[in-house]
Structure 1
Amino acid sequence: MDRLVDINRLAEILSVKPATIYGWVHEGYIPHIKLGKLVRFSVKEVEEWLKDKRRRGRKNRVPEVELVSKGRRPIKMT
């Protein structure tokens, strides 16, 4: 079985305040498990969730630009 942690432990792991975690739970933003009134988090699921939230740095991004000349259609460049 996967390891479960409470809100305080997850907040410590992610270096955020417990209130932030409570907000994420309320919004349905972060995967969690409700056991009656208790809220627990699967460490494995949170790690996967974090991988999905990872973004590329600016150097790896290709800017999307539209060029418009007077009287012409926009040219989309990526």
Structure 2
Amino acid sequence: MTDMTNDKWINIDEAAEYLGVKPATIRDWIRKGKDVPAKKIGKQWKFKRSELDQWVRSGKAEL
């Protein structure tokens, strides 16, 4: 069964804290086309922890 906390939408500050980087780093990754699993909702970037986990495991994160 899927952990519901991993499917909750989080903002860029929460995503940065989750990944251990600064929000500016995530914005830079998005600008550089690093395939960050992000959705723009209105003017804000939103993320799901489960998608971030999968992205890191895929090796695309290059953290």
- State TM-score, norm by structure 1: 0.61
The number of residues matched between the two structures is: 54
The reply to whether residue 19 of structure 1 matches residue 24 of structure 2 is yes
Partner of 2:14: 9
Amino acid at match of 2:23: P
Unaligned runs of 5+ in 1: 55-78
CA RMSD across the alignment = 1.7
Larger radius of gyration: 1
Offset, 1:28: 2.8
Matches of 1:3 and 1:28, distance apart in 2: 23
Matched, 1:40 2:46: yes
Please list every run of at least 4 consecutive aligned residues from structure 1 whose deviation after the TM superposition is greater than 4 angstroms.
none
AA matched with 1:42: K
Q: How far, CA to CA, are the matches of 1:26 and 1:7 in structure 2?
A: 14
TM-score of the superposed pair, with normalisation by structure 2 = 0.74
1:3 and 1:46 map into 2 onto residues whose CA distance is 12
**What fraction of aligned residue pairs are identical, expressed as a percent?**
39
